[in-house]
Amino acid sequence: MPAYLTEETMKFLRGLARNNDRDWFEARRAVYERALRQPMLALVEAINAKLEGFAPAHVRPAPKCVMRIYRDIRFSKNKQPYKTHLAAWWARRGMEKTSGGGFYLQVGPKGVMLAGAVYMPERAQLLRIREWMRDHHAEYRGLLKTATGGRLGLRPIVEDAMVRMPKGFAADHPAGELLRARHWGVRCDLPAEAALRTGFVADVVKRFQAAAPIVEALNGAILGGAEVPGESVRRPLF
């Protein structure tokens, strides 16, 4: 497989980190299109082709997956206009406008981050996941053990958990750490140079495939058996 991202990609992002302003970016927009945006779209298309085999409901057009490089600065004290990394998000079909589970890829000079997760779910989704965890924590732990038990470097997402048990759940519940969580899933960190290797697509796909049962279980918890809006035919993921 070809290497989609190059040292020129990383050089641009390092320069952007030092010169995060519109004048610098616009003067180099042609470089951004050639060395970042177009290769990232091609990388996502290559990953899409593999997702068809184990997570077809997450396959979306590359421009829908690749995240904008522009930061949302409306409510942020940090007014720098650009992100200093590239990222893509594969939502489940019919859940694109929700905080449902999906696959995430982030690439930058400081490293690569991969995840299969639900991150910052909406209030109703948060409650559904916690109710599912209350009754299916053993099943979820089994999925985590399988995903993290190999040599892929995957680990559970544990950041930003609540200190106390959420309202409505027993304080001594055996799934305490899962019920206090605000995000669920697995993640993996790789060195930045991994994104420049010819086998990067395979590296990403192996980790997404390992995380796929967790993503599917979390989306199942959110959906509660309901049909996914806009999806008339639902294919099994596995």
How far apart are the C-alpha atoms of 38 and 7, rounded to whole Å? 15
Structural domains of the chain sorted by starting position, each given as residue range(s) with its CATH number in brackets:
7-223 (3.30.930)
Average pLDDT of every residue of the chain: 93
Q: What percent of the chain stands above pLDDT 90? A: 88
Judge contact between 133 and 222, C-beta under 8 A: no
| Contact indicator for 116, 212 with CB cutoff of 8 Å | yes
User: Residue 1: what pLDDT?
Assistant: 63
**pLDDT tens per residue across span 127-158:** 999 999 999 999 999 999 999 999 999 999 99
